[in-house]
Each structure stands twice: as structure tokens, then as C-alpha cells.
């Protein structure tokens, strides 16, 4: 076994402390990654605080982190995709059944037997707990890691492994591109990636935000429009004008104004996952041939495609790099929507 060190919580109080644990030895198809950077996703906060109790109950001690970038320092004898010294990324899952219709079509995240999530889950044996990227090392089967073809500062690449793929996947699926008006609801980690990626795809992007102070940033990120979602008049004026809206909001909110903002045949895709449900009148969809969609991260082939797309278009996350002793502060600020626009933990120097 390989001794390593991470940062864990032991209960819903979200208090982090150093945590020593072991990773498995490097098997024939495994790679060992020395983690350099790990992003803080709002999903980490939901799980640490057990806000998704009914869906994914919290298991403590929990070492969160599924936006991982690091250097490959050891490869198993059967490894072909990586060599020592390569940069690799790990996202939200580290294994799956490899046999079901989802796994065999590159949609491992929708594995019929449920993928092995990177943390707060188990390996496919359903016994061995998984610990995430707020740690120094990860051992993973090479088929579940992606290649990062970037050098220089990698801190802005780490968030692509969740925030990037989660927004890229529905934008791509619904053919966002030139001539389309795209709305992004919530300018946080996912939202700011959605703005950059939709803009790189050629769309005209508008941000819906509760934070008036983010308007200048939205423009810098590539948005041409900015609507304060609590301004009822502005929301009424936006009605019927969008081809596609992606909702990245982490907290409970009424989604009906965004259905109203769609034009005929428009699509509202949910990626943000707050705790409470919404009430929607069927007529609000029927009268405009509108579509509601949901999307979970992305599979390994599409994650690789997204990384290559972002490298080609020079897209990375805007990050605030922190040391592990500031994780609690970062959680508090993220919950208050005071994140510009992703906290990333410097594990290289931890």
C-alpha cells in the first residue's frame, strides 16, 4: 500500500484536519498521480454537509475533491496511455462496471451499476471507500484518467475536470453555436465555465445573476448581456428570447422565469442540484414546444474531448489558489456566492 496524506472532515460541521491514509499499490493498469491542484466544487460542500443525504449520504471521514490535476509518477506494466512525467486529470468517478450499455458507449457516469465516485463512495467492490483529491496522491486505472496536454500553470485546468465537462456536455449535446442566444444562470464555478465555453462555441451569452457586482466580470468572461434575476421587470423583458439556458444554481430557486425566458423550441438544461424540487405547469412547456433537460458531468471520451477543446480555445478557469488551511474559508465564501470563480487547493506545496 502507498502511504498518503489528505484533508478530511469527520462530520457535517465541515471542519477539515490532516488525515493519513493508504492508496492501493499500483496494479498492472494503474497509474500513480502526484496531485498538484484540486478544485473546490459546490458538490463537495453539498456532500460534506450531507445536503444530498437521500441521494448520496455522507460517509465520514470524507476527503472530498474531484477536480484533480497532477503528474504521473509511476505506471503499471500494462499501461499504454501514460508515461512517467505526463500530466493527468481525474474527474468525478474512478471506475465503473465496464460492461453495461452506458459503459460500453463511453457514458461511464451513467453506469447501470453506478460508477465508483472519486470520493464519498466505494470502489466497484462496494466495500473499499474512495477518498478524493484534497490529498497528495491518487492511484487510478489509466482508463479512468484523462490526458492533460498543457504545460505552465495547471491550477486553472483542474476545474475543467468537473465544472468544465459538466457545462461542455449539455452545451454540445444541444448544439450551441453561432447565431444562438444562450443564458447562463448563476455565475459561480460552473457558470463561469459555461460562459467561456459557450462563447468559444460561438454563441451570444447572457448571464442571469443575483449578484450585481459580477456584471463587469461577466463581460470579461465573454458575456454580452447581464440580467439581475431578482429584477422582475428585466426578467419579463427577457421572456421568449433564449434558444438555450443552462441553470447552474446551487441553492433553491424558482425555475419558472427561465422557462418563460426560452423562445419556441428552447431548451432549459439543469446542472445545478439544490435540495428542494420545483413546481412547473405543463402548459409553460406545451405552449412553446420547450424542453427541460438534466445533465450529469460527462464520460471519459467526452471529458478528453472537452480538455482538447479548451486547450485549443485557450479556455481555463479563473481561480483563487489557496493552501489547505483555507478550505473552510473557501467553503463559506462559495456558499455566499463570493467565489471568483473557482477556489483551487495547492496540493503541490501542501
The residue ranges that bind Zn ion (CB under 5 A) are 41, 43, 96-97, 100, 103, 111, 162
304 binds, among ligand NAP, Zn ion, none (CB under 5 to 8 A by kind): none
Nearest Cα residue to 5 out of 143, 176, 188, 138:
138
Residue closer to ligand NAP by CB (options 82, 242) is: 242
3-state per-residue secondary structure call for 130-177? CCCCCECEEEEEHHHCEECCCCCCCCCCHHHHCHHHHHHHHHHHCCCC
Least separation, in Å, of the C-beta of 317 and Zn ion? Answer: 12
Residue closer to ligand NAP by CB (options 2, 228) is: 228
Residue 248-267 contact track with ligand NAP, rule CB under 6 A, x = bound: xxxx-x--------------
Q: How many CB atoms lie within 10 A of CB 179?
A: 8
By CB under 6 A, residue 166 contacts ligand NAP: yes
By CB under 6 A, residue 186 contacts ligand NAP: yes
111 binds, among ligand NAP, Zn ion, none (CB under 5 to 8 A by kind): Zn ion
148 with 81: CB under 8 angstroms?
Answer: no
Residue closer to ligand NAP by CB (options 170, 324) is: 170
Q: Which stretch binds ligand NAP (CB under 6 A): 67-75, 136-144, 243-251, 320-328?
A: 243-251
Question: Which of 23, 42, 137, 199: binder of ligand NAP (CB under 6 A)?
Answer: 42
By CB under 6 A, residue 188 contacts ligand NAP: yes
Q: Show Cβ contacts of residue 87 under 8 Å, excluding neighbours closer than 6 positions.
A: 69, 70, 71, 72, 147, 148, 149, 150, 151, 154
* DSSP-assigned letters across all residues of 48-88: HTTTTTTTS---SSB-----EEEEEEEE-TT--S--TT-EE
By CB under 6 A, residue 271 contacts ligand NAP: yes
Region of 74 please: left (phi>0), alpha (psi -120 to 50) or beta: beta
Residue closer to Zn ion by CB (options 38, 260) is: 38
Q: Show Cβ contacts of residue 55 under 8 Å, excluding neighbours closer than 6 positions.
A: none
By CB under 6 A, residue 72 contacts ligand NAP: no
At 193, phi and psi to the nearest 5? -70, -40
297 with 273: CB under 8 angstroms?
Answer: no
Least separation, in Å, of the C-beta of 283 and ligand NAP? Answer: 24
Nearest Cα residue to 198 out of 217, 166, 164, 171:
171
Residue 223-242 contact track with ligand NAP, rule CB under 6 A, x = bound: --------------------
Question: Which of 4, 43, 102, 243: binder of ligand NAP (CB under 6 A)?
Answer: 43
Please state, in angstroms and rounded to a whole number, the distance separating the CA atoms of residues 155 and 230.
33
For ligand NAP, the binding residues (CB under 6 A) are 41-43, 46, 162, 166, 186-191, 209-211, 214, 248-251, 253, 271-274, 295-297, 334, 337, 339
Amino acid at each position: 500500500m502507498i502511504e498518503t496524506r489528505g484533508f478530511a472532515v469527520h462530520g457535517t460541521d465541515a471542519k477539515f484536519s490532516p488525515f493519513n491514509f493508504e492508496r492501493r499499490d499500483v496494479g498492472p493498469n494503474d497509474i500513480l498521480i502526484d496531485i498538484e491542484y484540486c478544485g473546490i466544487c459546490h458538490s463537495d460542500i453539498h456532500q460534506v454537509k450531507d445536503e444530498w443525504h437521500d441521494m448520496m449520504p455522507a460517509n465520514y471521514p470524507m476527503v472530498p475533491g474531484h477536480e484533480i490535476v497532477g503528474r504521473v509518477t509511476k505506471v503499471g506494466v500494462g499501461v499504454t496511455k501514460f508515461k512517467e512525467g505526463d500530466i493527468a486529470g481525474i474527474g468525478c468517478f474512478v471506475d465503473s462496471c465496464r460492461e453495461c450499455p452506458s459503459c460500453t458507449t463511453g457514458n461511464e457516469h451513467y453506469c447501470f451499476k453506478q460508477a465508483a465516485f472519486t470520493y464519498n463512495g466505494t470502489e466497484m467492490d462496494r466495500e473499499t471507500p474512495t477518498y478524493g483529491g484534497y490529498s497528495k496522491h491518487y492511484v487510478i486505472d489509466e482508463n479512468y484518467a484523462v490526458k492533460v496536454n498543457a504545460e505552465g500553470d495547471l491550477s486553472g485546468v483542474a476545474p475543467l475536470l468537473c465544472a468544465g465537462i459538466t457545462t461542455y456536455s449539455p452545451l454540445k449535446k444541444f448544439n450551441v453555436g453561432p447565431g444562438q442566444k444562450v443564458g447562463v444562470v448563476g455565475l459561480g464555478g460552473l457558470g463561469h465555465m459555461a460562459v467561456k465555453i459557450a462563447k468559444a462555441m460561438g454563441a451570444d451569452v447572457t448571464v442571469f445573476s443575483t449578484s450585481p457586482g459580477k456584471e463587469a466580470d461577466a463581460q470579461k468572461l465573454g458575456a454580452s448581456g447581464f440580467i439581475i434575476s431578482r429584477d422582475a421587470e428585466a426578467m419579463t423583458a427577457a421572456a421568449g428570447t433564449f434558444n438555450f439556458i443552462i441553470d447552474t444554481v446551487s441553492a433553491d430557486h424558482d425555475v419558472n422565469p427561465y422557462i418563460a425566458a426560452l423562445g419556441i423550441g428552447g431548451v432549459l438544461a439543469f446542472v445545478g442540484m439544490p435540495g428542494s424540487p420545483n413546481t412547473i405547469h405543463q402548459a409553460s412547456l406545451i405552449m412553446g414546444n420547450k424542453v427541460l433537460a438534466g445533465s450529469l458531468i460527462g464520460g471519459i471520451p467526452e471529458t478528453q474531448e472537452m480538455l482538447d477543446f479548451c486547450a485549443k480555445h485557450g479556455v481555463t478557469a479563473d481561480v483563487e489558489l489557496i493552501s489547505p488551511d483555507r478550505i473552510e474559508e473557501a467553503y463559506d465564501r462559495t456558499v455566499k456566492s463570493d467565489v471568483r470563480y473557482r477556489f483551487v487547493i495547492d496540493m503541490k506545496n501542501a
